[in-house]
Chains A and B, each alone.
Chain A
Amino acid sequence: MPIEVEVVSRVRQLYHTDRADMVIIPGSEGEMGVLPNHTPLLTTLAFGELRIVEGEDIVSFVVYGGVVEIRPHKVIVLADEAESGYDLNLQEIEAARDRARELMAHAPAGEQRAQIAQELRRTELAAKVHRRVQSRPQQRIRTLEDADE
């Protein structure tokens, strides 16, 4: 029996499917793969790539923190922020990353430093996910609208 997966960020619903075979979640305690009949579990999310395996397809999202609720046949991802792995714009990401690196070189302090470090982590992650998504052979872009059909 496949798993139903719902991905929502605080500002919108990103994805919904009811035929996932496996979900790979970037949990705060480490990455974990969820198969059907998983024991109920609640975990916080780290920054990372969320992958939903549906047969031949892999649907990819970048998530930046949040909570995941896992039930035997349903996974609900409540991300603080998230975007589709296919929507990533490498140029923008690299520009943002370079900017963050440059700011970091000026050795900022306190809260500002934490913010810049956060931004740096985000952009590096996004760049990594972008590379990974691009190098995958089976590239099928799926959106919320597709899943609803």
Chain B
Amino acid sequence: MATTREIKRRINSVKNINQVTRALEAVSASAVRKSQAAVLASRPYAQHAYDVLVNVAAQHTGLAPHPLLQVSPTVQQIGVVLITGDRGLAGAYNSNIVRRATRFVEHYGYPTRWITIGRKGRDLIRRWIAVQQDKDTAPAFLKQQEIVAEFSYLPADPDLGDIAEIAHIVFDEFLRVPVDEIFIAYTNFINTVTQQPRVLPLLPLRPFEARSAEILELVEPEPEVRHRGRDYIYEPSAQAILDEVVPRFTELQILQAIRESLSSEHSARMLAMRNASESAESLSEDLQLEFNKVRQLGITSEILDIIGGVEALKQSDG
């Protein structure tokens, strides 16, 4: 049986853990609120930009398409932008999105160039690639997986300046390296208890396909294409306007995905920490109970000792 001192030490350590998890929970709770506001801030621009894009594309089907709109006839290789957190202690947040992304790649079946945002994603993908290399049964495309760029420790409230480098690499992969399609894997924030890991096509931008409705979900829940087929005057030219809108829109999509993921990460962490605090509390209660029992037992045996001693003295006196 453990001594009271041992139990006391365990109670203290559980209480310390409880304090840490409580602090983390509070930090995440305030971060959730902030990141939610950021998610909403860039939506108006993205909505209008998409509107303009759809209009221009609708009227200029004969136009030489913008390079970022160019759909390649056959897919040889794809790119995946994977957004995860830099830190753990967020429940299943990181492993869920990584599992979703790797499963997507396994089903889609092409060699993949990964761009990871967040330290956890990089580590998990690196491990996954190593596993594929060792597995003899893995198909050829799974042996051709590669992390081409990684970003970690983005600021807590990223804006366009912070993601410029990421967007640059994404464009570069699509335009220079023969990557035919780029997808973005991120965690959609629904509410503080529900987050949904998902993979969406990012490039080429296809304004009209059914899939584009999904792209727009990144920026707006219900896409609405208004006033299609109106004749516009373009200054200086439709091409110049596309040049302006298409890259901006793609950058915003990336930013929006990062913001959604950040909100999700904070809420996942808040929830995980709340659960941990609760377990720590019940554990410390159990330990306290055990401590009391042991203490009582000690006192009882001491009293018995004393009584026994008194009896012995009485007999020797008598």
Q: Mark A residues whose CB is within 8 Å of B.
A: 6, 8-13, 27-29, 39-44, 65-67, 69, 71, 76, 78, 80
Contacts and interface: CB of A to CB of B under 8 A. Distances in A.
Nearest to A45: B244
Interface in B241-267: 241, 244-245, 248, 252
A66 B55 CA distance: 17
Contacts of B245: 67, 78
B231 interface: yes
Contacts of B55: 42, 69
A67 B52 contact: yes
Given A40-B231, A67-B245, A71-B227, A10 B236 contact: no
Nearest to B252: A10
Contacts of B41: 11-13
Contacts, number: 75
A121 to B, nearest CB: 18
A65 B252 CA distance: 16
A27 B52 CA distance: 16
B233 A42 contact: yes
A27 B242 CA distance: 16
Contact of A69 (B52, B160, B238, B240): B52
A63 B216 CA distance: 26
Contact of B235 (A10, A29, A80): A29
Contact of A80 (B44, B48, B248): B248
A149 B248 CA distance: 32
Contacts of B160: 10-11
B262 to A, nearest CB: 15
Nearest to B230: A40
Contacts of B248: 10, 80
A44 B233 CA distance: 12
Nearest to A74: B227
B44 A8 contact: yes
B68 interface: no
Nearest to A12: B41
Given A44-B244, A67-B52, A9 B45 contact: yes
Contacts of B235: 27-29, 41-44
A13 B40 CA distance: 10
Contact of B48 (A28, A29, A44, A76): A76
A11 B41 CA distance: 6
B153 interface: no
